[in-house]
Amino acid sequence: MHNIRRHALQVFCSLVAALLILMDAAMAKDKRMGENLDKAFAAGELSGLHSVLVIHKGTIVAEKHYPGEDQRWGVPLDDTEHDKDSLHDLRSVTKSVTGLLYGIALSEGIVPGLDESLIRQFPEYADLANDPQRSKIRVRHALSMKMGTEWNEDLPYSDPRNSEIAMERAADRYRFALDRPMVNEPGDWWTYNGGATALIGKLIAKGAGVPIDAYARSKLFTPLGIREFEWVAGADGVPSVASGLRLNIHDLARIGRLILDKGVWQGKQIVPLDWLDMSFTPHAKLRDGLRYGFFWWLGPEGTPPYWVAGFGNGGQRLMISPANKLIVVVFAGNYNQPDAWKLPVKIITEFALPAVSR
């Protein structure tokens, strides 16, 4: 009996020692990546960076916050400090969250199916429904941004000619999004389109009978333990589902963790797994090699994709790599800069991936 106890103690001590080694290695990685980020920021190599959070296999590998000018949906903010509790514009990462909400609403039977006619969901625009080509637009075409309508978001979001800005300034955002000239057959061509997201958001709100921010709080945020958020509304009082959501960095990472865990949070299925599978199925292959699902950007290779992500103006990024069990969140202030995407890519490829692959 004494030998058995001694053997058990040796095994326990070995396990503790192994755990301490793993903890030391994790702390070393955390420290090394953090130091590298600090050095690069001080050297001016990460201009505009506000916050970085890297989580690998459920452990925080690095978390850093830096001062910098910021905005709230285009309006400059006085506070230039950023920390773990700071709400930050997600900009178009909002679209990806809206996509998750549609999946929840679809599972509840309160929104139309993917193959339903989109225009038929808006009987108030009966004149548009008489257009035979427009009547071919399905709900899935809005979710995959293949509506076939004219739309231009290549211009800066400070430019009133930008289609999303024009929609925000229109008397009726939904009519504006639906009555754009048809330039392609629905389903044939991908065009980045915040109006498509606005229409999907309207279907959620209409089906739920409450504004989308209230639905999000009830069905997604509260179950995930997200207590504080802001969903900025346009001049018409409607929350912008294309770009208006503001979260802190850890709460956005919770959404990443939800995806990594296949829609399950603390044992409860929050987002249906089949919806995640559909969302992360490539519905469009883009010219730059990326692919697009239902309001989610997808890596150029793999089935399922090697990574999925939400992209946002200014350098906002939520990237999830199921293959690496990796979540990277980046907040930045490089709004309306055409090369703003380079900052989150640099952080992921030069800092995050090397740190977790050692």
The CATH number of residue 200's host domain is: 3.40.710.10
| pLDDT at 29 (0 to 100) | 52
| pLDDT at 358 (0 to 100) | 61
Tell me what percent of the residues of the chain surpass a pLDDT of 90. 87
pLDDT average, residue stretch 159-171: 95
Domain contains 314? no
| pLDDT at 13 (0 to 100) | 36
Give the domain extent around 92.
Answer: 85-281
Tell me what percent of the residues of the chain surpass a pLDDT of 70. 91
Task: Give 319-348 pLDDT, tens digit per residue.
Answer: 999 999 999 999 999 999 999 999 999 999
Weakest-pLDDT range from 8-17, 200-209, 219-228: 8-17
Domain contains 254? yes
Number of domains in the chain: 1
Domain contains 76? no
Domain contains 246? yes
Model confidence at 284: pLDDT above 70:
yes
Confidence of residue 157 (pLDDT cuts 50, 70, 90): confident
| pLDDT at 255 (0 to 100) | 98
| pLDDT at 41 (0 to 100) | 98
Amino acid identity of residue 332, one-letter, is: A
Domain contains 89? yes
Domain contains 156? yes
Of 19-23, 29-33, 120-124, highest mean pLDDT? 120-124
| pLDDT at 30 (0 to 100) | 59
pLDDT average, residue stretch 71-77: 96
CA distances from 200 to 26, 69, 185, 196, 218 (A): 42, 32, 20, 6, 18
Domain contains 339? no
pLDDT average, residue stretch 122-138: 95
Domain contains 185? yes
Q: What is the pTM of this model?
A: 0.91
Confidence of residue 90 (pLDDT cuts 50, 70, 90): very high
| pLDDT at 132 (0 to 100) | 94
What is the chain's mean pLDDT, rounded? 92
| pLDDT at 303 (0 to 100) | 87
pLDDT average, residue stretch 76-90: 97
